[in-house]
A and B are shown apart, each in its own frame.
Chain A
């Protein structure tokens, strides 16, 4: 059974710091991995999608990497800002019993202090 783990559950950093969020998954047979952010009381906003054949994706101050063989993905945030404060979720797409399935981690709650 695929399990997605995000450690730490919460992280607090001062503004301007570069940081890395971790996501690990137990089964390397994934089709893609997506990072999201969720603000309190809001829906999920897609940040980056990495296809299984890709190693990384970049968007602005964000860089996500994927290592399928080790079952790991990282989200790197450069020069963090208070507006980056949110919960960050990763999710993998797998197949199970012929059906598509999306498995989420429980998220890392990031606080960037001014």
Chain B
């Protein structure tokens, strides 16, 4: 089954404790991206990757890091989480090519930073 898998789905952590949210897709997609969804603000793009070793900032990259060492994986790293990073996070992927292709989303990771 074609899917985008995120882990963990739920996480409660404390300020400053580094964490990684993993994202993996089994569709051989070149493009992958991360979003956060907050009430009243909607979905905002954090980072995206057009292919292995190619990443770029989205609208709200501050406080986040990403890496794309393999095609299937695109982890989101919070080096020193803060309460304002409490949010619902989504990973998505699509086929490569410029601006084309249907986006497929993971189920989301709900993160709470105390």
Number of interface residues of A (CB under 8 A): 24
Instruction: Give the distance to chain B from A107, nearest Cβ to Cβ, in Å.
Output: 7
Taking a contact as CB atoms under 8 Å apart, the answer to whether A34 and B102 are in contact is: yes
Contacts of A34 in B (CB 8 A): 102-103
Of A44, A49, A51, A95, the residue contacting B105 (CB under 8 A) is: A44
Instruction: Give the distance to chain B from A44, nearest Cβ to Cβ, in Å.
Output: 4
Instruction: Give the distance to chain A from B89, nearest Cβ to Cβ, in Å.
Output: 10
Number of interface residues of B (CB under 8 A): 28
**B78-104 CB contacts (< 8 Å) to partner A:** 90, 92, 98-104
Question: Is B48 at the interface (CB under 8 A from chain A)?
Answer: yes
| Interface membership of chain A positions 53-72, coded 1 if the CB is closer than 8 angstroms to chain B and 0 otherwise | 00000000000000000000
| Interface membership of chain A positions 86-102, coded 1 if the CB is closer than 8 angstroms to chain B and 0 otherwise | 00010101010001111
Of B33, B56, B100, B104, the residue contacting A51 (CB under 8 A) is: B100
> Measured between alpha carbons, how far is A29 from B108 in the docked complex, in Å?
30
> Measured between alpha carbons, how far is A68 from B92 in the docked complex, in Å?
25
Contacts of B33 in A (CB 8 A): 102
Question: Is B107 at the interface (CB under 8 A from chain A)?
Answer: yes
> Measured between alpha carbons, how far is A51 from B103 in the docked complex, in Å?
13
Contacts of A45 in B (CB 8 A): 105
Taking a contact as CB atoms under 8 Å apart, the answer to whether B99 and A95 are in contact is: yes
Extra contacts besides A32-B100, A46-B103 (12): CB < 8 Å: A31-B98, A34-B102, A36-B105, A43-B90, A44-B90, A44-B105, A49-B102, A89-B42, A101-B58, A104-B43, A106-B42, A107-B42
Task: Give chain A's interface residues, CB within 8 Å of chain B.
Answer: 31-32, 34, 36, 41-46, 49, 51, 89, 91, 93, 95, 99-102, 104-107
Sample 26 A-B pairs with CB under 8 A, ordered by A number.
A32-B100, A36-B105, A42-B107, A42-B108, A43-B4, A43-B90, A43-B108, A44-B90, A44-B105, A46-B103, A46-B104, A49-B102, A91-B43, A91-B103, A100-B48, A100-B50, A100-B99, A102-B35, A102-B45, A102-B103, A104-B43, A104-B44, A105-B42, A106-B40, A106-B41, A107-B42
